[in-house]
């Protein structure tokens, strides 16, 4: 018989929202992240914004280059929003050398990149290490 005065230990797992338009990369990253965190996924900036509104994550991992709205535009919106501006954002990209050729100036990129930037080619372990730095 269970003693009703015993307290049950409930652990709170931090929530990560992973936004990327590459389903294979999302699935791989999710497998790694779920070992330590509660993970929600979105495959577009719009879907990500909707999920942020429903359940505020502790951290967002966000692909920089998506269509039609890219990660820089979503980051700008989040950082200008009173409710969401303090959510850490880790930007991901596979095209760091091409960023200067985008519609964004160097100054805009520095303002809209969130807290950290991870090159996809660095591997999922590097991304996980970056996430841990902000959530531990």
Q: What averages of pLDDT result for each successive group of 10 residues across the chain (136 residues)?
A: 50 91 93 95 96 96 88 90 93 67 54 72 87 91
134 burial level (CB within 10 Å; 0-12, 13-18, 19+): middle
Question: Residue 35 CB: number of other CB atoms within 10 A?
Answer: 8
Q: Residue 52 is encoded by which pair of tokens?
A: 């942020």
Please tell me the distance from the alpha carbon of residue 16 to that of residue 3, in angstroms, as a whole number: 35
Return the pLDDT at 4. Answer: 47
Query: What beta strand segments (E) does the chain contain?
Result: 15-19, 38-42, 59-63, 89-93, 116-119
Domains defined along the chain, listed by start: 15-135 (3.40.50.2300)
Sign of the torsion angle spanned by Cα atoms 82, 83, 86, 92 = negative
pLDDT at 5: 47
Q: What is the pLDDT of residue 30?
A: 95
Contacts of 98 (CB under 8 A, 6+ apart): none
User: Could you tell me how many helices (H) and strands (E) the chain has, helices first?
Assistant: 5, 5
């Amino acid at each position: 018989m269970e003693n009703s005065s015993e307290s049950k230990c409930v652990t709170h797992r931090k929530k990560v929202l992973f936004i990327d338009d590459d389903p294979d990369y999302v699935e791989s990253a999710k497998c790694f992240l779920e070992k330590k965190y509660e993970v929600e996924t979105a495959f577009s900036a719009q879907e990500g914004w909707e999920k942020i509104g429903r359940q505020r994550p502790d951290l967002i991992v966000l692909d920089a280059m998506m269509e039609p709205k890219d990660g820089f535009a979503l980051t700008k919106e989040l950082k200008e929003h009173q409710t969401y501006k303090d959510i850490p954002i880790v930007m991901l990209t596979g095209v760091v050398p091409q960023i200067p050729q985008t519609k964004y100036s160097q100054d805009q990129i520095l303002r809209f990149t969130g807290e950290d930037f991870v090159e996809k080619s660095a591997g999922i372990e590097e991304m996980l290490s970056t996430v841990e730095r902000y959530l531990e």
